[in-house]
Amino acid sequence: MVEYTINWLNSESEIASELWEACFPAPFEGRWWYKVLEQCGIADQFTFLYAQVSDSNGPIAIAPAFVMNVPMRLVLPAPLLPLANIVGKAIPSALYQRTLFIGSPCSDEGRVGMLNNVNRVEVLRLVNDSMVLQARKLNASMRVWKDFPQEYAPDFAAFPSNLFPLVSFPGTVVELPNSTKEGYLSTLKSSRRNKLKKKLKAAAGAPVDVEVIQQPDNAIMDEIFNLFWQTYEKGSTKFERLNRKFFDLIAAEKHAYFVVLKERESKRVVAFMLCFAMGDHVINKFIGIDYTKPKEWFLYFRLWEVAVDWSASIKAKSIQSGQTGYSAKVELGNQLIPLTNYCQHNNSIVHWVYAKVARTINWDTLDEDLAIYLKAYPDEKPKLQ
């Protein structure tokens, strides 16, 4: 049996570029992504670290991780929040739960990158066992494998642990058969395709011009970030809080493109989508929309059409659009990708309570849009494990 060892490192720069490239090839966000997160100035929210696994020949796997003081409002069931707020007035630290995550705060899917011919179950087991000691060093009471896709479920079931599964917000993806808009439209149900075409026809009359740009200048970046912040403030689910420096740094990366709509008269940006071109896959990462503009402009749908056209032009075969905002994404034909958190609390009583509550959580309890969707398609509800 192969012997594996593990080291915890404090920066992506401590890991060889060759290992990053091998463990996180397209369509996965790699070293460049973690470099930006480390350097953009969000250390008040996250502390980043990396578990590097080795065998006798050297490093063979990378498990990106981060530590966060998670607000209890994101963890507790709604009925318990008033009690938590009362306790928090006397003990402010009770309003947060320090948590060690495997994954990325801003990526849709968790991943432990490995070289070929590595025993994945043993690597995951080693990382999981090591998390216990690392969490103790970091004073983290909770350990979470964040947003892992279904392919990992048999691996977690294969080694002894006390992890409990917690259904997470699903990811979303649309296919672009033959890398064409026509191919994408052919994947939609006729009712959705007809509705979309009507909205796109209406959106075509909006007084906006479209561009796909890299490395926007400062003036345009000001407008982009203002729209991002407007959209961020409007959202109901907030995990990370990104800043202007993040956008400046990410814009310098070769994978980053900004799909932009500009009002024809003022020349100001009224909508944008930050996309990553990752081989034959596009990641729709963040959007921003000027909600003061007329609804009849259908800016979101116009933005989506431009993104599809651009994705097809670079021969992409799929577009991943992330979590939340499901009503519009389902209307656009996105498939919902089940994701799961695997969790453990160091207090056995708290762990038991959390595990019990976790069994009551599903897509329809996480999000109103998902609840509506599951009423129409009940067979797509993920099975509680």
Helix (H) or strand (E) holding 354: helix 348-358
Find out whether 288 and 227 touch, Cβ atoms under 8 Å: yes
Helix (H) or strand (E) holding 269: strand 269-278
Q: What parts of the chain have a pLDDT lower than 50?
A: none
pLDDT digits 0-9 by tens, 176-235: 999 999 999 999 999 999 999 999 999 888 999 999 999 999 999 999 999 999 888 876
Could you tell me how far CA 262 lies from the centroid of its own chain?
Answer: 27
- 3 state DSSP class of 97: strand
- 3 state DSSP class of 288: strand
Helix (H) or strand (E) holding 32: helix 31-39
Strands 142-149 and 96-102: parallel
pTM: 0.91
Q: Return the pLDDT at 61.
A: 98
Q: Return the pLDDT at 238.
A: 60
- 3 state DSSP class of 251: helix
Q: Return the pLDDT at 113.
A: 97
- Answer positive or negative: Cα dihedral of 367, 357, 170, 212: positive
Record the tokens describing residue 32, joined without a space.
């460049």
300-310 b/e with 16+ CB inside 10 Å = b? bbbbbbbbbeb
